Structures are given as C-alpha cells and as structure tokens.
Structure 1
Amino acid sequence: MEQFGVLTLGSRLKRLSDYLFAQVQEIYGYCEIPISSTYFPILRLLQVEGGLSVTEMADRLHLSHPAVSKQISKMLSESLLEKIQDPHDQRRTMLTLSPMGKQAMEKVEPILLEMQQVLERMLSFSSDDFMTALVNLEQQVLTDSVASKVLDRLSAIKLVELQSEAHKRAFYDLNMHWLQRHFPEQINQHDLALLQSPMKWVTKYNGRIWLAVSQREGQESVLGCLAFRPHPGGVGEILKLAVADHCQGMGIAQRLLDHCLQVAHEQGMKVLCLETASCLLAAKSLYEKNGFVAKPVPFTSLYERADLYMEKVLGENS
C-alpha cells in the first residue's frame, strides 16, 4: 500500500489500528484481564470522569452515538458497567464502572505504563513529513511484536550464564544491534571474535557471560547481557554490556553490573576495569554511579571507538 502514498492513508491507519488492538488483546489474554481492547477508551473515560451519559461519552471521545451505544451494550452484558440515576436529574440514566470494571482497570494500569514505554521508544524518530513519519511508524510497529515487548517488561527477569545456541544468537544480536546503532563503521575483528564464538572466548580467557532473560510459556527472551574477563594481578574486565531497546530503563544493566561486581569480589579481584566511549552519556553515568573512575589508558585499546577507560577499586564493601 505504501507505493500509493496518501491515497491509501485510511487503509494504512486502519491496519495500524487493527494490529495494535490485536496486540493489546494478546497482552490482556496473557495477563487474564477480562476486557476487550476496544473497550479501553470508554473504560478509561469513565475511570477518570465517573458517571456519564452515552451522549456525553460520544462527545468526549468524538465517536458516533450508535458506536458508543453498541460498545456500552456489550460492556453491560459483561458486567463491566452499571447504570445509575443522574443525581441532578432522576429522569436521566448515566453509566459508571461496575466493581468488576474497576478491578479490571486496576489490573490494566501496570500494562499501560509498560505499553507507553514501548510505544514511545518505537516513536522516538523525527520527521517533518507526515507520510515519512507514517512509514517509519509502520516499520517500527508492524515488523515486530508490540505484545512481546510489553510482556518482556512485565515478566520476571533472572540472570543466567550463556549456554545454548539461542543464547549465542541473542548475545550476538543484542551487541551487533548496539554496534550498528552507535558505531557502524568501527566494528572490528575483536568484536566479531567474541560475538561469533562466545563459548570459544569463554574457554580461551576463562571468562563469563551472563544474560538477563524473561520466561513465558516455556520460551526465553534475552533482554540484556554482560561479559567478564579476568586478567592477571587481580584485575577483571567488563565487556559487551547491552540491553534491548524496549527494555531500557528497567534496571537490567544495573542488575548485570551488580552481579558482575559480586562475582569479581568473590573471586578476590582487586580492580574492575572497562572501556567505553565518552559520547555514551547514559553508560558513563551508570559506571560513575557505581564507583568507576576515569583513568589514563594503561594500554593501546583494541577499539577505535573507546576513548574512555574507567576503573573501580574493589574493597571489602564492594
């Protein structure tokens, strides 16, 4: 449809709408929330405003009276709404959330917060042209599962060591996505040696690779990773810390870093070191918050992009 431009605007917007409603319904189903995704505008309006008439709801939502009436009938039959008398005019009937409707909306709240995070990240592009922006939106939304991303953020996360073929692929994909996003012209043989053969790297350097994973219905999603390499003299090196875009801001990088610090301390390491780029402000802030300090680089770096060397001295309380 994209080749016909604005002539298919309505169809393309409907495709996006239908897809997002279906994705939200998938999330509701997984979380056992007994409402239709199409009910949300009315339920949210009543949650915020309290009792309203059908006409008032239609006006507030800019929908037709018949369309709202049809949805209201369904929600009444499913005990999500109840009718009440207008306290100011006993001849007028209003609608409000039933106890079941209120309970359902309370369960929806954490889902909405995570959905907002996912969608805002998908929409974090700029364009002065509406049709170009629409193409970007379609590429972001329609080529990946919004439901899976939201459920990743809602699921419990645990740390595991890299071991399976699926883990290897995920480790490669996470880091290659990061490299291609930030330094596409500076991916070198040292990056590829680790990313393409992580178990060989682990064996050669006595290293460790940890993954942050969520599990749903017997399947794992890898959401973050970190590699750790011990060096002679009680020095440990942190490499390849990466978190999936849709899971940024959840504290996954901090959990991986905390685990690495704990293992380094248990192994009697005296210093942890890492290389990063000064332009990566979020990464620099994370490391500084955890006690890493910028130092002169004590060696020739293997990475052209690395212009910042940091160390953390591990004491008794590390």
Structure 2
Amino acid sequence: MDKFLELKELGFGSRMKRLSDTLMRDVKKVYKSLYIDFDPYLFPIYKTISDQDFISVGEISETLQITQPAVTQFINILTKKELIIVSPDENDKRKKLISLSDKGKALKDRLNPVWKIMQEELTSFIDREPTSFMNHIRLTEQEQQEKSLYERIMTRIRENVEIIEYSSEYDHIFHDLNIEWLEKYFYVEPHDKEVLENPKTYIIDNKGYIFFARFNGEIVGTVALINEKECYELSKMAVSPKYQGLKIGQKLMDKCIQFSKEQGWEKIMLYSNRKLTPAINLYRKVGFAEVELEQDVYYERADIKMVLTL
C-alpha cells in the first residue's frame, strides 16, 4: 500500500515532490532517447529567453518570480553550454541583455516539436473533471503508473517518423548514413563503395528500391531492396545515431516486408554479421530464419544469411 494515501494532506508536499521527480525523470529520458543535450531543469529560464529577442536578468526574475541570484546561476550554466549570449545594454552599461546564440536557436528548433507533444500529453494527464485536489493527484499518479509520461511522449514522437520512397536528392544522405554505420562496426568494402556512390545505377535502375525515414523534415534512416538473382536482398539499412531511440529500424523493416508482400514476392533475404546481436534479434522477431551461407558471398563481413518467407 502507498503510505501517502494514509498520510493524506500531511504528506502533500512530499507527495508533490515525488510526482514531480517522476515526471522530470521521464522528461530526461525523452531527451536522452532523442540525443538532445538539454537539462529539463533549465527549461523555464531557457524558454523565457527564447521567447524574447533580448531580456535582462531582472526581467527574467520578475517573469518567473524567482530570485536574481538563482537566475544568475542558471544563466552561468547556459553560458557554459554556449546556448546564450550575454551582452551589455547600449543604453545602460550596468545592465546585461541575454539572447539565444546560434547554437541555442538550433536547439530550440529541435525542442519545439518535442515540447508541443509534451504539452499535449501533460494536458491529457492533468486536465480532468473538477474533483478534490488530493484525488486529482491520486488519479495523476495512477495514470503515470499505468503508462508513464516517457512512454506516452515517445509513442507520439515515433508516430512522426514517416517512410518515403526514393528521391535522387537524398543520394548523399543514403551514402553518408551507410558509410557512418560501416565505419562504426566494420569497414567500407569495395562493393559497398561502388553501390553507395551510385545508388540509382546499382539499385534503382536495376529494378531495386530505396526507402527513407523522415523525422521533422530530416532524413534520419534508409534501407534498400536490391534485385538479386535468387530474390530481393534487404540491404543498406542505416539509421542516424541521433535518432536510434525512435525504433526507425523497425519501421524501415516493416515497410520492406509490407512492400514485398504487395509485390507478390515469395521471399526476401539478407546478409549480416553475428556480432550485431540487436539486429539479428530484430530479424528473427519479424520472421527471418537462418539458411546456409554460400562460399562466394560478396560481403567479407557477412557470416550469416537469413531468409523471410512471405
């Protein structure tokens, strides 16, 4: 049993802190999953600055109703992170004006769509019919236990990942994402270099297909279905390290399987390496089964071949 239910109003302050800490922990997990270097405790100060072209310490203190020394402490942290610029007021040299730096503006662009979803999910969490305040807290705690704020936000964010078809304007991204992945785990083989530098020639013009994952207008992942003699090969799957918490690989995989079924193909196959345990587990999860690996496979790194019967 939750002791706070027994304590009732006597435990109000501690109970509010527990709920606040739980929600703050989830927000931190969201930022970490999206590879966004931002401390949620900086949000009030950072958002207040970002809403103005220039603002002073005194104005921030008055707006947020916190002391100037506390504001100065946060300002120092943001300055060290190079997210803001502090400059003297031309009309009053004793006064410092604060604005976002270019780095701070770029971060704001990444945070805005995340904040929008957070706002909507927190509203659905908290906004309910009038009731006693303590009962309101109890219901909010119950909602958090049933499905955490982190899960709610990440589910919504993952829904914003869309899979689009090939366009030659993304050839360089197809190349860069795959090179980054190969250099991280293996090395770039001659066959890789040839295909990645000429995807239209080696894949598209050979009756193959390339798909891209797009998130907030940015291409963040890719995969190809390459026409081979035996059947189509699922290959060249790569996801930007910044967005690997969004299950983009799963979405790309699902797209390839659904597309293959729509084409009426009997099977698709892939080559991989056993050290890529998460990837192998994903392949098995969607139905790929290991088959014998031929001796003359053109990938030196390949030590496993898998086939999915459609």
Task: List alignment gaps of at least 5 residues for structure 2.
Answer: 1-36, 50-56, 67-102, 115-153
Flag the 1:263–1:231 CA change in 2: closer, same or farther, 3 A.
same
Of residues 28, 46, 60 in structure 2, which corresponds to 1:37? 46
RMSD: 3.3
Q: Which residue of the partner structure matches residue 196 of structure 1? A: 197
Q: Which residue of the partner structure matches residue 243 of structure 2? A: 247
Aligned to 1:239, the other structure's residue is in SS state strand
Shift of 1:202: 2.5
Flag the 1:146–1:232 CA change in 2: closer, same or farther, 3 A.
same
Distance (whole Å) between structure 2 residues aligned to residue 146 and residue 70 of structure 1? 23
Of residues 163, 171, 176 in structure 2, which corresponds to 1:173? 176
Q: How does 1:108-123 map to 2 (within 5 A)?
A: none
The answer as to whether partners of 1:276 and 1:306 remain within 8 angstroms in 2 is yes
Q: Which residue of the partner structure matches residue 74 of structure 1? A: 63
Shift of 1:164: 3.2
Aligned to 2:223, the other structure's residue is in SS state strand
Q: Give the ranges of 4+ consecutive aligned residues of structure 1 lying more than 6 Å apart after TM superposition.
A: none
Distance (whole Å) between structure 2 residues aligned to residue 282 and residue 149 of structure 1? 28
Flag the 1:213–1:38 CA change in 2: closer, same or farther, 3 A.
closer
Distance (whole Å) between structure 2 residues aligned to residue 285 and residue 148 of structure 1? 35
Task: List alignment gaps of at least 5 residues for structure 1.
Answer: 1-22, 28-33, 41-66, 78-141
Distance (whole Å) between structure 1 residues aligned to residue 107 and residue 301 of structure 2? 32
The answer as to whether partners of 2:168 and 2:200 remain within 8 angstroms in 1 is no
Distance (whole Å) between structure 2 residues aligned to residue 307 and residue 35 of structure 1? 52
Q: Which residue of the partner structure matches residue 293 of structure 2? A: 297
Q: CA deviation digits over 1:213-262, x for unaligned, max 9?
A: 124xxxx31111000023346x2210011111011121211111111111
The answer as to whether partners of 1:274 and 1:310 remain within 8 angstroms in 2 is yes
Q: Which residue of the partner structure matches residue 257 of structure 1? A: 253
Aligned to 1:206, the other structure's residue is in SS state coil
The answer as to whether partners of 1:149 and 1:246 remain within 8 angstroms in 2 is no
The answer as to whether partners of 1:243 and 1:253 remain within 8 angstroms in 2 is yes
Shift of 1:195: 0.7
Distance (whole Å) between structure 2 residues aligned to residue 148 and residue 174 of structure 1? 22
Q: Which residue of the partner structure matches residue 20 of structure 2? A: none
Q: CA deviation digits over 1:163-218, x for unaligned, max 9?
A: 133x111111100000111113xx22210111101111124421000000124xxx
Q: Which residue of the partner structure matches residue 280 of structure 1? A: 276
Confirm whether residue 157 of structure 1 aligns to residue 157 of structure 2.
no
Q: How does 1:71-110 map to 2 (within 5 A)?
A: 72-76=61-65
Query: What is the count of residue pairs matched by the alignment?
Result: 184
Aligned to 2:65, the other structure's residue is in SS state helix
Distance (whole Å) between structure 2 residues aligned to residue 282 and residue 289 of structure 1? 10
Aligned to 1:297, the other structure's residue is in SS state coil
Question: 1:175 corresponds to which letter in structure 2?
Answer: N
The answer as to whether partners of 1:24 and 1:37 remain within 8 angstroms in 2 is no
Aligned to 1:190, the other structure's residue is in SS state helix
Distance (whole Å) between structure 1 residues aligned to residue 108 and residue 295 of structure 2? 46
* Structure 1 stretch displaced more, 288-297 or 156-165: 156-165
Flag the 1:238–1:178 CA change in 2: closer, same or farther, 3 A.
same
Q: Which residue of the partner structure matches residue 104 of structure 1? A: none
The answer as to whether partners of 1:225 and 1:240 remain within 8 angstroms in 2 is yes
Question: TM-score, normalization: structure 2?
Answer: 0.52
Q: How does 1:14-53 map to 2 (within 5 A)?
A: 35-37=44-46
Distance (whole Å) between structure 1 residues aligned to residue 303 and residue 185 of structure 2? 14
Q: CA deviation digits over 1:260-314, x for unaligned, max 9?
A: 1111111111111100110011111111111111111135211111111111111
The answer as to whether partners of 1:275 and 1:310 remain within 8 angstroms in 2 is yes
Shift of 1:38: 7.2
Q: CA deviation digits over 1:64-107, x for unaligned, max 9?
A: xxx9x985533139xxxxxxxxxxxxxxxxxxxxxxxxxxxxxx
Flag the 1:37–1:255 CA change in 2: closer, same or farther, 3 A.
same
Distance (whole Å) between structure 2 residues aligned to residue 146 and residue 289 of structure 1? 36
Distance (whole Å) between structure 2 residues aligned to residue 71 and residue 147 of structure 1? 18
Q: Which residue of the partner structure matches residue 182 of structure 1? A: 185
Question: 2:182 corresponds to which letter in structure 1?
Answer: L
Shift of 1:149: 6.1
